[in-house]
Homo-oligomer: A and B are copies of this chain.
């Protein structure tokens, strides 16, 4: 066995163990008995210890020094392992385990504070986590920008300054569009009535199938907060059902199908190698978002969906497919990021991005965070936050230490905009297929041009190769202005 072979064999086992830990997380959120909380924490803790020991195993360093990769793929595999090893080795074990312990406890404290609308019971915990994350960022950055070091964990190669410039360029057009929409005369109504649970699930399954989800390598379950989980031959989705709002179930499903479909689309030869996962959170989000929005909420696909929902439910109470399309794409004021529409979503993300940059840089204290949140929300959305659960307490991310994660949501939307333009150019007849409930031409194009490559290229290079141009916010903004301009008669 060469050093390269040893390295890859070791990595393969680590990938398999990491996949096991992820499967445990799925189990916890979908099927685990409610009384098994302590046991599961201990099981996950034991897996984390094993994985941490492997990620920092000094043999990796020796193999890396001696490895002689022969091909581009081998070269990239070595590069990715070296990057992870470098990261894992920089963070002291004691700090890593303290972070794991604190963020595990913080999740419950956050949930309780959100439930009771008591930020004061959560902010001291958040402060402790922020201090640990700043320490981690200092270790990771090695003298560079600490926030960039955290961002790099989710979006390799991205820089906060570039993202800030990108977002600053987008914000005015989004704010203007939002204001124009909310000021328009002709506002679409909301869907009325209740829609039975089982019928929603059946429709959601049909939608996942329409977007090419491979049921032999996945399944769908119910979760409080929908997520997707797994890779290769076992990539599962979840959804939720709100009986008064069938779009919640349907578009959660299509969104998660985008994530899982990406994993299912990766070249099988990369399975359980460092190239065998989606390459970044931003690219992942581009796949879920283009499925959910540019394709799933387009006029063509909603035409098919209108027909299917009309058959499935006794009385939809919607006149025709055009009215249905307007209802699906309804824009209303709201506090909550996860319930937001295509237009306002990025504004929610940008708010968090700016605040967390200041937190990590030490320019904003946790104590002043609620006030900063509320001031910024008023500025961007023109509405005052009514209570902390609708403001600073709404997202779990910071409680579990996810600083540097939020901007990947908006970046994913920008990527989706670029991909959508290229996809539409390449497939002029796509809407014909979508109108028949068949998204497979789009799925095949994404698979061929993007998904199959897994971790072979860096995120930005991958998007630029697939979309045939520079990453830019223009396609997304043009698409939004055109789509919502028509819907709202702007």
A43 to B43, CA, bound (A): 16
Given contacts A16-B43, A23-B27, A24-B20, contact A234 B49 (CB under 8 A): no
A340 to chain B, nearest CB (A): 32
Contact B20 A43 (CB under 8 A): yes
Copies of the protein in its oligomer: 2
CB distance from A44 to the nearest CB of B (A): 9
User: For A33, A49, A215, which residue has the most chain B Cβ atoms within 10 angstroms?
Assistant: A33
Q: Is the pair B35, A20 in contact by a Cβ cutoff of 8 Å?
A: no
A165, CB-defined interface residue at 8 Å: no
Within 8 A of B (CB), among A215-238: 215-219, 232-234, 236
A39 touches B234 (CB 8 A): yes
**Which of B32, B34, B36, B233 is within 8 Å of A39, CB to CB?**
B233
Known: A27-B23, A33-B218. A233 touches B43 (CB 8 A): no
Does chain B have a CB within 8 A of A42? yes
On whether the beta carbons of A215 and B33 are closer than 8 Å, the reply is: yes
Query: A-side binding surface: helix, strand, loop or mixed?
Result: helix
A16 interface neighbour in B19, B33, B45, B234, Cβ under 8 Å: B45
Assembled-state Cα–Cα distance A219/B271 (Å): 32
Q: Which residues of A from 1 to 49 have beta carbons under 8 Å from B?
A: 12-13, 16-17, 19-20, 23-24, 27, 31-40, 42-43, 45-47, 49
Residues of B within 8 A of A47 (CB): 17, 20
Contact bitstring A133-149, B, C-beta under 8 A = 1, else 0: 00000000000000000
Give Cα A46 to B47, complex, Å. 12
Contact B16 A233 (CB under 8 A): no
Nearest B-chain residue to A231, judged by Cβ: B39
Contact (A33, B272) CB under 8 Å given A20-B43, A46-B16: no
Contacting residues, chain B, for A50 (C-beta < 8 A): 17, 50
A243 interface residue, CB < 8 Å from B?
Answer: no
User: Which bracket fits the contact residues of A?
Assistant: 35 or more
> How close is A216's CB to chain B, nearest CB, in angstroms?
4
Given the interface pairs A13-B46, A232-B39, A272-B42, the reply to whether A31 lies near B216 with Cβ below 8 Å is no
A74 sits at the interface (CB 8 A): no
Question: A458 contacts which chain B residues (CB < 8 A)?
Answer: none
A206 at the interface (CB under 8 A from B): no
Interface assignment of A214: CB less than 8 Å from any CB of chain B:
yes
Contact of A43 among B19, B31, B40 (CB under 8 A): B19
Report A290 CB to chain B, min CB distance, Å.
24
Contact with B along A49-79 (1 / 0, CB 8 A): 1100000000000000000000000000000
- CB pair B234–A32 under 8 Å, yes or no, is yes
A13 to B45, CA, bound (A): 9
- Inter-subunit contact B46/A20 (CB<8 Å): yes
Residue in A17, A32, A40, A42 whose Cβ sees the most chain B Cβ within 10 Å: A42
Q: Tell me the smallest distance from the CB of A104 to a CB of chain B, in Å.
A: 14
**How close is A157's CB to chain B, nearest CB, in angstroms?**
29
Contact of A35 among B12, B27, B34, B233 (CB under 8 A): B233
Q: Mark A233-262, 1 if CB is under 8 A from B, else 0.
A: 110100000000000000000000000000
- Complex contacts, A234 vs chain B, CB 8 Å: 32-33, 35-36, 39-40
18 further contact pairs, Cβ within 8 A, besides A31-B219, A35-B214: A12-B42, A13-B49, A16-B45, A16-B46, A17-B43, A19-B39, A19-B43, A20-B47, A23-B43, A27-B27, A33-B216, A34-B216, A35-B233, A35-B234, A36-B233, A36-B234, A39-B271, A39-B272
**Can you list 22 A-B contacts with CB-CB less than 8 angstroms, sorted by A residue number?**
A13-B49, A16-B46, A17-B43, A17-B50, A19-B39, A20-B20, A20-B24, A20-B43, A23-B24, A31-B219, A32-B234, A33-B217, A33-B218, A33-B219, A33-B236, A35-B233, A36-B217, A36-B232, A39-B232, A39-B271, A42-B272, A50-B50
